[in-house]
Structure 1
Amino acid sequence: MADARSSAQAVGTIETDGFPPVLAAADAMVKAGNVTLVYFGLAERAEFIVAVRGTVSEVQQAVAAGVRAGEEAKRGGVVSHYIVPHPTGNVDSVLPIHYTSASEDFWV
């Protein structure tokens, strides 16, 4: 269920072709911005998705760094990326982008 903290936070996602780029992107994102990694998943065709939450400016900074890192990975690359500044409670409660007990220790 969404809470006030989640809806006040931006969400940024990066989708990659292969695992090495998503690993590089996720690592770069959490190092570049004051963000929390809230989702990692496997999409179709061996594409991976990673999502972070934080303030709009921190998510923008983190996603930019993640895209650069993912594009520099030796195999695969970045397929797409997107930032939603303030997702509504409905989006936050239905999609897997909310803070969970697993991400709670790392909440910014």
Structure 2
Amino acid sequence: MDKMEALGLIETFGLVFVLEAADAMCKAADVELIGYENVASGYISVLVKGDVGACKAAVCAGVKAVQDMGADVYSSVVIARPHPDLGKIIARYSFDILLA
């Protein structure tokens, strides 16, 4: 995994809401969409990477987009300077793996 300055993650309920979050995140800041994971029972997480400021702006925009649709955000986080071993987890959710 290449070195990441930060990770941004949002978890909400339902594909429509996570797609809205991902769209808002990518439009709001210079981040790269890593992938998504259907966590359980309809909860879906979306992951982006970029610099710390971009990830913060992206997560904020994604959370607002979901809330503006009347849905709840289950959780959100920005991890600055993630430990390289997190790449072992993140690799599982990349679009390269999910679409293979």
Smaller-chain TM-score bracket: 0.7 to 0.9
Q: Work out which of the residue numbers 26, 41, 44 in structure 2 matches 1:45.
A: 41
Q: Work out which of the residue numbers 79, 83, 89 in structure 2 matches 1:95.
A: 89
- Corresponding pairs, count: 95
Q: Work out which of the residue numbers 75, 81, 88 in structure 2 matches 1:80.
A: 75
Q: Which residue of 1 aligns with 2:64?
A: 68
Q: Give, in whole Å, the separation in 2 of the partners of 1:97 and 1:63.
A: 20
TM score, norm. by length of structure 2:
0.85
Gaps of 5+ in 1: 103-108
Q: Kindly tell me: are residues 96 and 20 of structure 1, through their superposed partners in 2, closer, same or farther at Cα, counting changes over 3 Å?
A: same
Instruction: Tell me by how many angstroms 1:39 deviates.
Output: 1.6
The answer to whether the 8 Å contact 1:30/1:62 transfers is yes
TM score, norm. by length of structure 1:
0.79
> Once superposed, what is the RMSD of the aligned Cα atoms?
1.9
* Runs of 4+ displaced beyond 2 Å: none
Gaps of 5+ in 2: none
